[in-house]
Structure 1
Amino acid sequence: MALRDPLDAVEDAKGSRSSDQITENSRDLDENYEFFKAAQEVDATPDEVKKVVRKIDYHVVPILFVIYFLQYLDKNAINFANAYGLKQGTNLHGQDFSWLGSIFYFGYLAGQIPSGYLMQRLPVGRVVSVTVIIWGTIVLTTPACTSFGGIATNRFFLGFTEATVNPAFVLIMSIWYKTDEQPLRLEAYYCTNGLATMFGGLIGYAVGHITTGLPRWMYVFLIFGAISLATGIVSVFVLPDVPATARFLNQRERTIATERVASNRAGVKNHHFKKHQAIQCAKDPKTWILFIMAIGAQIPNAAITSFTSQIIGSFGFDTLGTQYLQIPGGAVQFLSLILGGVLCTKWPRGSRCPTMITANSICIIGSALLVTLPDENKWGRLVALWLCFFQGLGFSMSLTMISSNVAGSTKKQLTAVILFVGYCVGNIIGPQTFLEREAPHYRSAYIAMLVGYSVKLVSIIVLYIYMWRSNVARDAAGPIDEKEAIEAGMHDQTELENKGFRYSL
């Protein structure tokens, strides 16, 4: 009798489940369940597993890196264009520029539920790629805006489309990587915030030397928009969805990739909406701790994004200085993110929350110095501003709280939506703290930064204590049945339902 390849079972199982035979049980099964079951019969060697991880890294992380780099550049293009006549070119007055910062996040807020629904129902790679094409087109049209109403509408729809990126990337991390692998990979793309700040400063500096043609502020949007549009088209063909459909993996490698992620005890992806998971999400204290944390984290965000040029100018530096003096802040952000990712990967047990606490404490020092240092100490105030660029590390690690510590596809998506609602609320409030009547000193904004960082610090500590106590209680209840815990994850159970689940602290 001929021996049968266990991978053939994958195709047989797929063929046996027609769309009109979906039962309550099949609704619970992960989309990659057949590959997970087949993997139990595949004895992969360590070298094979390493090869699969390398292939995933080569095909997933680079495109995430480029897209995240561009979304940060595009939403903050007004910061760089502001030094070259954006206000005059679009007839902005009073608080109009502050409202451009807030209106982007009204669009971001409005886009959360539609994008979350699309990502659960459709291939996440395709959803991300199409939105990049759309927002690149929106950025390209910004120079056509000649009034506050026009550019405000443009900013709203840019925020609506960019709303997909952060939640999608959190989902992608949980789809492709084990819990202890996620911090470094997440920081590998999130560090582009720092690179984008440096690159944007260089582009802004270069644009400052253009003396002919269009008004200089327009070139910022034309350059950034064209790059994003081209990247979105490339992404359609290269950004994968889930291991089970990845074209860069063969059949055996797909089973290995699925089995690796199944060990997170949180499944991979399930496209069915589960009402009970939605209710559990609303009742889970972690959801609202993350929500409050996001608000606190993002109130100070305007200072290191849309208003950086204005702040540096208020210290007494010239127009070109407002551009190139953003580069050290970007370097601080880039290096802190990479260092944090390395530390949390090298020491995965209990390092994430302490890393967030450390980064946030540095931000508190920086914002406190902005509040207290005299106006004539321009270099001291500039260094204080650079210290606030550590904030990216704290917020990015909070995203791993979702990718690693929330299970159940519906619950994971909704938790991400709620966190990013808080993200939007903080970013809507932040620009309004820069009061025109306080220019150029903006004392209210610096106080708001200090309050925001303090709220975030308290939230991190509360979340850490909550998850630590839960882990201790579950450990005390008895040993983990590893196989049963993984199986529960592949049946789309949440972290509260799966008693073998443990939080990554």
Structure 2
Amino acid sequence: MADHSLDEKSITGSSVEDLSHVDQSKLREVDVAIGIAAGHTNDEEISPEEAKRIRRKLDWHILPLLFLLYTLQNIDKSTLASASILGIIKDNKLTTDDFNNLNSAFYIGYLIFEWPQQWALQKFPVGKWLSFNIFLWCLFLGLHAVCHNFGGLFALRFLLGASEGCVTASTMLIISMFYNRTEIGQRIGWTFQCSGVGQIVSGFLSFGVFHANPKKHPNQWQWLMIATALMTFVLFILFVLFIPDNPTSARFLTPEEKLTTIKRIQANQNGIETKTFKMKQFIEAITDTKCILFFLFGAIADLQNGIGVQYSLVIKSLGFTTLQTTLLNIPSGFAQIFCVTLCCYLLGKFPNSRSWLNILFWIPGIVAAIVQIWLPFHNKVGHLIAIYVTNLGGAPSVAMMLAWVTSTCAGHTKKLTANGMFLIGYALGQILCTQFWKAQYKPRNIVPWIITLVTYFVDIAIVMAIRYVLITENKRRDALQAEAEASGKSLDEFSDLGYLDTVDESGKTVHVKVERALLDLTDKENLAFRYVL
């Protein structure tokens, strides 16, 4: 701890102009919101009505854009599965392994570019960098329509994954900048449920392009790629015009509303945004037990997503026509929407229940996998319903985990690194998940379903391990604080206020008192931080 017997100036009780004496290099190392928060004390209460009004305003300006983003991303991810029954396999002379490898190519690009994407999200304005990647996504998707072989499709799937690797990381970051911990879980869940909306739209879109003349160009699958690319371009325009980089640059907020937005989330103890990459925080993240467990969860959970690419082929193998298959995955979208909405509702009722909700929503997937393995194959309806039930499980569990990662890491570089670790695990799982859906296992696919069933139980064990680690650390911090209070020691380390060490114009060391959440401390450095469960 710093020696506070030296000169001390308090940002919490001064004016914004008082920041002029602070070394600008020091300001770049702390939160971008520090200038707005200066001159306002920590005990200035925000009325429940005002907090609700601000939250509603944020919801109306930010969530529709994120909902569209996730809807279109899911439509995009579904294009390969949808195109599998619309002619892409025949026109490009693809084998079963070729088709599986095209899905892996997307996530190889995602995996390789995930660290560069995280670095760019810290160096560049988040909204603008996301908009740029949406444009690249639109371009690469549209170029699919001119491909005639595996090599061309593989290259474009790789580049598409590289650009879309920004989407989930940006979404997690943007939501964490504007909302408190419970709201983060709900908003990430609501955004994630748009994957279900995407499945529904994708089904109707596939149904529509199926009616294009297959003997003319563009072919059915090419029309699917072109239509999706055009919708993505509209999304790009909307993001360029309306998505903010952070609360300090949100044009739809007044200066007073920006301050209220910042103060609403200071209890998170993880700040808004810092533009300086800190190697110490990076190393802390990659060696943090909970971050490693989050990474493992992402990798194991996404081994289950082979069905996400195979669903059209699996449904068609049950004896349905191509036209019927284009529509039969639509109920899966409704299943995702229902279960994620229910999960978000339960999180609102029980705010510290992420781990239990995660486990609860694996149960439908476990039941569905058991049905797929043991139900006689002639029971086509039963197998189809089991596919729908599968969608009741994975989506809410992964959504809760995304929110958990975001809420349990502080320090901007560490938070980005933790997000990146989770998404790298996600990409590894996605690369591997289609590789065990082999031609020799069809049509029953017993081996893929057994692997899927095992991963459910492994993920439950990982969730319980994360919960144990966080509970143990919370108890340790509570004990340290109680010990300090009992012995009459300084409680500065457990306070919401901290100190920024700088040098004034005369060269004298000055300790500037600021909100601890704005000092860009990691969750390990900030003993006032408590982990949500």
2:397 matches 1:391: no
Residue 366 of structure 1 contacts residue 387 of structure 1 at CA under 8 Å; is this kept in 2? yes
Aligned residue number for residue 348 of structure 2: 345
Partner SS state of residue 263, structure 1: helix
2:304 matches 1:300: yes
Q: Aligned AA for 2:200?
A: M
Aligned residue number for residue 531 of structure 2: 503
Gaps of 5+ in 1: 1-5
2:496 matches 1:483: yes
Task: Quote the Cα distance in structure 1 between the aligned partners of 2:312 and 2:162.
Answer: 25
Q: Number of aligned residue pairs: give it.
A: 493
Residue 359 of structure 1 contacts residue 394 of structure 1 at CA under 8 Å; is this kept in 2? yes
Aligned mate of 1:161, from 163, 168, 179: 163
**TM-score in terms of structure 2 length:** 0.89
Residue 73 of structure 1 contacts residue 197 of structure 1 at CA under 8 Å; is this kept in 2? yes
Q: Aligned AA for 2:245?
A: D
Q: Deviation at 1:319?
A: 1.4
Residue 29 of structure 2 contacts residue 275 of structure 2 at CA under 8 Å; is this kept in 1? no
2:424 matches 1:411: no
Aligned residue number for residue 115 of structure 2: 113
CA spacing shift, 1:367–1:38, aligned 2, 3 Å: farther
Aligned residue number for residue 265 of structure 1: 269
Aligned residue number for residue 3 of structure 1: none
What are the within-5 Å matches in structure 2 for residues 225-264 of structure 1?
225-264=229-268
2:455 matches 1:452: yes
Q: Aligned AA for 2:30?
A: L
Aligned residue number for residue 98 of structure 1: 100
Partner SS state of residue 95, structure 1: helix
Residue 240 of structure 1 contacts residue 246 of structure 1 at CA under 8 Å; is this kept in 2? yes
Cα shift readout 1:140-169 (whole Å, capped 9, x = no counterpart): 111100000000111000000000011111
Aligned residue number for residue 203 of structure 2: 201
Q: Could you tell which deviates more after superposition, 263-272 or 440-449?
A: 440-449
Q: Deviation at 1:14?
A: 6.5
Task: Quote the Cα distance in structure 2 between the aligned partners of 1:425 and 1:302.
Answer: 12
Residue 70 of structure 2 contacts residue 198 of structure 2 at CA under 8 Å; is this kept in 1? no
Cα shift readout 1:32-79 (whole Å, capped 9, x = no counterpart): 012223342866443333222222111111101101111111122111
CA spacing shift, 1:227–1:52, aligned 2, 3 Å: same
CA spacing shift, 1:436–1:39, aligned 2, 3 Å: farther
Residue 296 of structure 1 contacts residue 451 of structure 1 at CA under 8 Å; is this kept in 2? no
Aligned residue number for residue 505 of structure 2: none
Q: Aligned AA for 2:38?
A: K
In the TM superposition, structure 1's runs of 4+ consecutive aligned residues that sit over 6 Å from their partners are none
Partner SS state of residue 83, structure 1: coil
Residue 359 of structure 2 contacts residue 460 of structure 2 at CA under 8 Å; is this kept in 1? yes
Residue 33 of structure 1 contacts residue 490 of structure 1 at CA under 8 Å; is this kept in 2? yes
Aligned residue number for residue 140 of structure 1: 142
Partner SS state of residue 497, structure 2: helix
Residue 101 of structure 1 contacts residue 302 of structure 1 at CA under 8 Å; is this kept in 2? no
Cα shift readout 1:110-160 (whole Å, capped 9, x = no counterpart): 120111011111110111111111101111111100000000111000000
Q: Aligned AA for 1:286?
A: K
Aligned residue number for residue 428 of structure 2: 425
CA spacing shift, 1:277–1:322, aligned 2, 3 Å: same
Q: Deviation at 1:437?
A: 2.2
**TM-score in terms of structure 1 length:** 0.93
2:320 matches 1:317: yes
Aligned mate of 1:180, from 172, 179, 182: 182
2:428 matches 1:400: no
Q: Deviation at 1:328?
A: 1.2
Cα shift readout 1:432-454 (whole Å, capped 9, x = no counterpart): 01112222222221122112222
Q: Which has the larger radius of gyration?
A: 2
Task: Quote the Cα distance in structure 1 between the aligned partners of 2:205 and 2:437.
Answer: 25
Task: Quote the Cα distance in structure 2 between the aligned partners of 1:94 and 1:32.
Answer: 52
Task: Quote the Cα distance in structure 1 between the aligned partners of 2:21 and 2:472.
Answer: 44
Task: Quote the Cα distance in structure 2 between the aligned partners of 1:338 and 1:39.
Answer: 37
Task: Quote the Cα distance in structure 2 between the aligned partners of 1:15 and 1:239.
Answer: 30
Residue 79 of structure 1 contacts residue 307 of structure 1 at CA under 8 Å; is this kept in 2? yes
Task: Quote the Cα distance in structure 2 between the aligned partners of 1:337 and 1:162.
Answer: 22
Gaps of 5+ in 2: 1-11, 483-490, 499-513
Aligned-residue identity in percent:
28
Aligned mate of 2:336, from 328, 333, 338: 333
Aligned residue number for residue 520 of structure 2: 492
Q: Deviation at 1:27?
A: 4.4
Aligned residue number for residue 26 of structure 1: 27
Aligned mate of 1:220, from 217, 224, 227: 224
